[in-house]
């Protein structure tokens, strides 16, 4: 299982570990580069958004409910065939996120972001909790598309695969 638990995040601007006094980056928009962040995966290896992209697009799904998480798992192979890596971002502590991933049998990245560092960088934080939405980050780090609100996994997959040509180099999507 590739469960990625966010132990600390660093935004591309400065790359410093977050602190309560840290000024958040401007929210990502479709005219910007995605803010980078580091996280510690379940295998204790540190990696980052730019390493996860590696010729692929990344679809970040913020504050998904358990039904959407399970549906994303069911659609994971289809996304990966299109060169898109799904990543769920939860505002839950590591332990809760881990138990949820195990209970649902998730095999894609699940980031624990209880302080909202990643959610805030992508404009999905209301000051206390992550808000539902998604962001498709292209292989080059550009924000290809983003949306707010709850979406079914089918809607997310259809949107992401429809945009795959813009987000993934041709050789990765074929």
Condensed to tens digits (0 to 9), the pLDDT of residues 113-158 reads 999 999 999 999 999 999 999 998 988 898 888 888 887 788 887 8
* Residue 80: pLDDT over 50: yes
pLDDT of residue 20: 26
Contact 18, 105 (CB under 8 A): no
Q: Name which residue leads in pLDDT, 62 or 31.
A: 62
pTM of the model: 0.75
Least confident of 14-23, 85-94, 97-106, 114-123: 14-23
Question: What fold, for 4-9+28-166?
Answer: Glutaredoxin (3.40.30)
Cβ proximity of 132 and 150 under 8 Å = yes
pLDDT at 63 over 90: yes
User: Rounded to whole angstroms, what are the CA distances from 110 to 30, 37, 137, 174?
Assistant: 23, 14, 16, 26
Q: Where are the domains of the chain?
A: 4-9+28-166
How far apart (Å, rounded) are the C-alpha atoms in residues 163 and 38?
A: 25
Residue 99, CA distances (Å) to 28, 103, 154, 174 in order: 30, 6, 24, 35
């Amino acid at each position: 299982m590739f469960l990625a638990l966010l132990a600390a995040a660093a935004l591309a601007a400065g790359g410093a570990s977050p602190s309560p006094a840290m000024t958040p980056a401007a929210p990502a928009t479709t005219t910007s580069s995605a803010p980078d962040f580091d996280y510690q995966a379940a295998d204790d290896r540190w990696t980052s958004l730019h390493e996860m992209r590696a010729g692929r697009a990344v679809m970040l799904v913020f504050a998904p409910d358990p039904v959407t998480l399970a549906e994303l798992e069911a659609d994971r192979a289809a996304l990966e065939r299109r060169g898109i890596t799904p990543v769920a971002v939860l505002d839950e502590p590591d332990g809760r996120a881990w138990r949820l991933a195990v209970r649902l049998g998730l095999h894609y990245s699940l980031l624990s972001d209880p302080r909202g560092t990643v959610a805030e960088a992508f404009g999905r934080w209301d000051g206390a909790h992550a808000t539902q939405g998604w962001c498709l980050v292209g292989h080059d780090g550009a924000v290809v598309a983003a949306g707010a609100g709850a979406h079914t996994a089918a809607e997310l997959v259809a949107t992401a695969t429809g945009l795959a040509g813009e987000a993934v180099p041709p050789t990765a999507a074929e």
